[in-house]
Structure formats: structure tokens, C-alpha cells
A and B are shown apart, each in its own frame.
Chain A
Amino acid sequence: MRDIIINELTQAFQQMAREVVHYLPRLIVMLIIALIGWVIAYLLKLIVRSLLRLTKFSKLSENAGATQLLHQAALPSSTELLSRFVFWVAWIGFVLLGVSVLGIAGLQEYISRFFLFLPRLFVALVILFFGLVAASFFSRAALLAAVNANFRSSKMLSIAIRIVIIIFALSMVFEVLGVAEETMLIAFATVFGATMLGLAIAFGLGGQDLARKFLERRLARQNKEEREDELSPL
């Protein structure tokens, strides 16, 4: 009985030792890949940061309104955030490459899925960035046009335009990422529809007089008093 137990234990230890001996080189390879990956990711981060500083990306981001959003969310600057993002994506990529060396069957599929997801993530980020740029540009254009036309609710109009464009960009981002596609589509349609309906009701009910006056003025080619209000610039 005692011999059987000792024999079984010895076999188990030998088996474990064989497994360890079998996996140890792979583990070391994985650690080396992760270490090299960290160095490469760090270098990439430095390069990306310098490139972004050289191209004055922070100014572009500031103009797009992204800096303000990040500041409000207590996040670092857009340049720092993007360079950190590149670092983590690169390093996680290397770590997963290292893990794949271990040959764990279940993990392989997830790793390949991660690598397939990366291009979509990049496209989503590009869409988000340009969405923010467009939102900032068009909202500012609307604000300036409204202020110069002496429109009373210029700021509200500008904010509304910004929100609609951001929601539109976000719905595109989620669609590209494949996250809650249907929910986002329904949410966007609901918000957009509600906004338009709200505006229609507000203008229809609240702005009857305003609309009448506006049309009267337009059709009568503006009355004399209005014309005399502006200085002749040239």
C-alpha cells in the first residue's frame, strides 16, 4: 500500500516536472516577447508623442473641442492619451503573441479575435476624432452666423448642432465596433426623432408670431426702419 502511494506520488511529480520542463522554455519565450514588446511599445509611444507634438496635434484637438472634453473628464491631454493608447495596444499585442507561444488551445481564438478587432478600433477612433472636428466646426459656424444675424438663441442652436453631430458620430463608432448596434441605432433614431419633433412643436406652437413676422418681413423686403439700422461700411 505504502509503495503504491509512493509510486503514484513519484509518477505525479515526474509528470509535473516533465510538464514544467516542457512549458518553462515557452514561458521564458513569452516573458522575453513581453519584455521586448514593452521596449518596442515604449519606443513607439515616444515616437508617436514626438510626431504629435511636431504636427501640433494638440492645437487641432483643441480646435475640435476634444481637449475641452478630456479636461472635463479629468483625462490627460489628447497627445498624451493617444501616445499611451499606442503603447498599450502595442504591448498587449506583444503579450498576446507571447501567450500564443504557450499553445493554450482556448486562448488562440481570443488572441486572433483581438488582432482582427484592432483595425476596427482604429477606424472607430478616426471616426470619433473627425466627428468631434465636424461637430466643433459646424457648431461654431452656426454660432457665428446666428450671432451676426442677431438671432437670440445662437448658443442653443450651436449646442444643438454639436450634440446631434456627436450623437451621429458615436452611433457610427458603435456600429463599427459592433457594440450594441441595434440599441445604438434605436437610441439615435429616438433622440433624433424626439429632437426634431420637439423643435417642430416648439416652432409650430411657440413661434407662430415669429414665423409670421419673419415671412412678412421677407416678403415685404424688410421695412425701412430695419434697413436704417446698419451703418454703411464702405
Chain B
Amino acid sequence: MAEETLMSDEFLRQLINVGEVDIVVGVSTHNNAKTIGPVVAAIQAGILKCFPRERVAIINADGGSQDGTTELVEKVSIDDLWREHKVYALRTLHSISARYARIPDPSKALQTILAAADLLHAKSCAFISPESTTIEPDWLQRLVRPIYNENFDLVCPIYVRQRSEGALMRNVLYPMTRSIYGCRIREPYGSEFAISGRLAGDFLAKGISNEDWGRMGPEISMTIMAVAGKYRVCQSFLGAKALVGHGTQDVVTVMRRTVGALFASMDPNFPVWSAITGSEAPPTFGTSTEVENEAVRINRKRLLDMFATGVAQLEPVLGSILPESVLSELKRIAALGLNEFEYPAELWTKTVFEFAASYHKSTISRDHIIQALVPLYRGRSLTFLSENRNGSGEDVETREESLCTDFERLKPYLLESWADRK
């Protein structure tokens, strides 16, 4: 069904010409001409180095690029790999570009790649971000090998990050996913990940992408579906996460795609997550490296201003989401100066849980609930930034673990809010 609606005749013809493959590498693009060339070259090098005997196809799902991205994907030649990586091709390496829409849609892009993998009967499907400028050929092996050799269904990445990076991941997505679904996946929303053919088929067959949470954030939905559905999940250490577009990502859009999808997933999965207490670490492959320390210029005063203004201006909106005790505490910290400011972990946990419960009860428009969380996230980011400014990588880890413990400890609070018993 998915194939019929997502694939053009030309795309289908190219796939039929390929026949069956062992591995599909999917790259979803939209105006990525600046970075796509080296990324595709690294993917090809990874395939030839690590999977020289396997049948592999690179599928590029493009959302209407105007800068020649698709042409660049097709232009990357495996002959160049000999010069750079000294690797030979043993098999024909197929590279197909397909335009799934005129405007980018992550859900459709993912579906297109999954449908292609399904049609080609791929055993494994890896997703690589076109902005991953730090990608190494080994990444492909680290993502695909656990599926190929050890029958895992989902391989999530673990990146090496700078201390100030990934504030949303470290303050909401990881702790929340861990406490809700009981699985310690460090990057539930990865730019790079790999899934088994079985999970790809099930994702398409169950029509997750037709549900709210699947449409909003297909990447995180995949992780949630795998964890909630008791698929075999593991993690693999990759290298440093690329910071293309640093500081220019629209926080509201990112919030909708990640936190929105996470909140939306909680309704249909309530019977699963409400019974879970504590959390377990999934098997992890590879070795961790030290957190990088690179000076990043952030205007802390501006962050505080945006938080304080948000709390003051959005008071009626926040009043319909948060209980009086949490709101009054927020107003108190909003009045603090830059040096004294602290958004405590427990208060942050309660805030996020109250937002999740309000999202479930639809106290106001669900999209407005997500938008109202943005200024508060900025306040928490400021504390995250201040706490980690002078600490070591170990300190960052310790604080992250402490926040996760708070999220797990306060899960009964969420259940009470969810059932409106407070």
C-alpha cells in the first residue's frame, strides 16, 4: 500500500532493476548541496570497507531540493574512493534518488526509504543525516553490524558531544523516554540509526506514520515503537555529532518534532508505560570517548530574558497547564538575577510531567502546549549551561544521571497528573 502511494513509476522501475539487497542506506535530503557530497562518499567508503560482499543500495529521498542535491548524490563516483580510501568495489553499488514531494516532509521521506527497503527485502536499513559532516566510514559498520550479526531490530547512536550541546536531548528527550518507557536510550532522536527489515516492515504495516505521533516525529516514533513493542534494541558509539546549522534551528519546530511526538505517543502506549518502573540499559557497542570541550558563545542574559518574559507574558496560558505550586515557583525563579538563577531539576521534571499530562487532557490546543514549553526550556537550558560551564565530562554525566533519577522517581507524580487525581 505504502509503495503504491509513495513511489513514482520511475523510482519503482529503478528499484525493480536493483532486485534484492542486504542493506539499504537511506539519506533524506532537502537543499543539502553543501554537505551531501562528502556524506555520500563516506557512506560508499563505509559500504566498500565494511560490507564488500553484501548487496547494498543507497536510497536518497529528496523533498524538493532546488540546489542540485540529487544531482550531487548521483555524481559521487565510487572510482573516487580508490584515491581516498584505497577500497575496491566487489559488487555494483546502486544509488537511487527519488523526489517524494515538492516540500520536505520527514514522515514521507522515512516512509519512502522504508517502503524501498521493504520492496528490496533488505535485512537492514540504515539512516544517515545529509548534514553529518563528521561521519566516518566506520559509522555504517557500527550501525548495521548489530542487526546483521546479532539480530537486533534497532540500533541507536551515541554521539560525542560538547558540554553545551544537546540541551533538549539531555534535559527532556533522554530522561523522559528513559522514565516513561524504562529503556536508557541516550539518543532516542538520532540523526543516524539503523533498523532491521522486520521493524521496517512492521512500522509500515502498523501505519504508525499515519498516527499523530508518527507524523510529528517519525525518527523518535521509530524508537518508541521499538521500545514499547519489545523489539531488540541496542546502542552503538559513533563519533562527534555534526553541528551544521548550529544555533539556527527553530526551537519550536524541533520541539514539535521531538517533544510533541513523545507526548503524543504516550496516549496510545499508556497500558505499556504506566506499568513500567525503573529503567534498564540496552546493550551498547563500541567505546565511549571523552566529551569534547569547545568554546561556544551563548548569550546567557538573553536566555534569562526570554525565560522571564515568557513566564510573565504567558501566565494565563501556563496557568491552564501547570498547578499553582509549580507556577508560583516558576515566577519566583523568573525574578532571580543571572548569577543566582537556577531552574532546579525537580521543578523541571514536574514542569515537563505537567505539560505531558495537559497534552493528554488537551486542556488547551496541543500545539499551544508544546509552544508554551519553549520559554521554560530556555530557562532550563540556562541552568544546564551554567552547571556544565566549568565541569568535566564526568560532571556532565553525573548531573544527567541525577536528572534522569528525578524523572524516574517522580513518575508516580506524572501518573497522578495524568489521571487528574491531584
Task: Show the binding face of A for B, using Cβ within 8 Å.
Answer: 59, 62-63, 137, 140-141, 143-145, 147-148, 150, 154-155, 222, 225, 227-234
Nearest-neighbour CB distance to chain B for A17, whole angstroms, equals 68
Known: A144-B371, A231-B381, A234-B166. 10 other contacts (CB 8 A): A63-B363, A140-B317, A144-B314, A144-B317, A147-B313, A148-B375, A154-B313, A231-B385, A233-B166, A233-B169
| CB <8 Å contact, B309 and A150 | yes
Closest chain A residue to B311 by CB distance?
A147
Binding stretch for chain A, among B295-303, B330-338, B390-398? B295-303
Q: Pick 23 A–B contacts, CB within 8 A, sort by A.
A: A62-B320, A63-B363, A141-B368, A144-B317, A145-B371, A147-B310, A148-B251, A148-B252, A148-B310, A150-B305, A227-B246, A227-B248, A230-B247, A231-B164, A231-B165, A231-B303, A232-B243, A233-B168, A233-B249, A233-B251, A233-B254, A234-B169, A234-B189
Q: Chain A's nearest CB lies how many Å from the CB of B305?
A: 8
Judged by a CB distance under 8 angstroms, whether B167 is at the interface is yes
Q: Contact partner of A147 among B165, B248, B302, B375, CB < 8 A?
A: B375
Smallest CB gap from B187: residue in A = A234
Chain A residues within 8 Å of B191, by CB: 234
How would you classify the secondary structure of chain A's contact residues: helix, strand, loop or mixed? helix
Given A229-B299, A232-B166, A63:B248 Cβ within 8 A: no
A63-B320, A144-B371, A150-B309 are contacts. A232–B299 as well, Cβ < 8 Å?
A: no
Which chain B residues have a beta carbon within 8 Å of chain A's beta carbons?
Answer: 164-169, 189, 191, 243, 246-249, 251-252, 254-255, 258, 296-299, 302-303, 305-306, 309-310, 313-314, 317, 320, 363-365, 368, 371-372, 374-375, 377, 381, 385
Closest to B381 in A: A231
Q: Across the interface, do B371 and A148 meet the contact criterion of CB distance under 8 Å?
A: yes
Interface centre among B191, B246, B305, B377 (most CB of A within 10 A): B246
Bound state CA distance, A155 and B312, in angstroms?
Answer: 10
Give the docked Cα–Cα distance between A59 and B258 (Å): 28
Cβ–Cβ < 8 Å partners of A228 in chain B:
247, 296-299
Most chain-A CB neighbours within 10 Å: which of B246, B247, B255, B258? B247
Chain A residues with Cβ below 8 Å from B363 are: 59, 63
Q: For residue B298, which residues in chain A have a CB less than 8 angstroms away from its CB? A: 228-231
A233, closest chain B residue (CB): B168
Q: Which chain B residue lies CB-closest to A230?
A: B247
- With most chain B CB atoms within 10 A of its CB, the pick from A63, A222, A229 is A229
**Chain A neighbourhood of B302, CB < 8 A:** 150, 229
Bound: A110/B291 CA distance, A: 84
Minimum CB–CB distance for B32 against chain A, Å: 17
